[in-house]
Amino acid sequence: MDETQLGRWIEGYVRAWNSNDPAEIGELFTADAVYRTEPHAEPWRGRQAVVEGWLAHQDEPAQTTFRWHPMVVSGDVGVVEGRTEYRTDPPRTYRNLWVVRLDRHGRCREFTEWWMREPTTDDAA
């Protein structure tokens, strides 16, 4: 994997995030993909489980803005730092760390995300 391939995969992920289209989601992952929504939760195993899990926890289209940059790209793994802004009332912002393992065809075979909410001025009150 290189940064270009990782970038293409993330662009597809963001498109699927905004469309919630099952075909777009499924196209990102291998048949035996493992998707960890947080480090200690039971992962979604297999493409169909990833699609079902994603749709069960979907965001509204165009509700988020995601910015990212690669921290490490080596072999089949990319580590990405991101920032997700939700245009909700009240707005929320999260910091993300993703570990993405792609196969030679550019599909994700293993995905793990860590996220934490940024405090707001309301949180300090």
pLDDT one-digit tens code per residue, 71-107: 999 999 999 999 999 999 889 999 999 999 999 999 9
Extract the tokens encoding 91.
């707005």
Q: Which residues of 31-51 are buried (b: 16+ CB within 10 A; e: fewer)?
A: eebbbbbeeeeebbebbeebb
Residue of 42, 117, 41, 111 whose CA lies nearest to 80: 111
Could you give the 3-state DSSP secondary structure of residue 32?
strand
Taking domain 3-124, whether its CATH number is 3.60.15.10 is answered by no
pLDDT one-digit tens code per residue, 12-70: 999 999 999 999 999 999 999 999 998 788 999 999 999 999 999 999 988 999 999 99
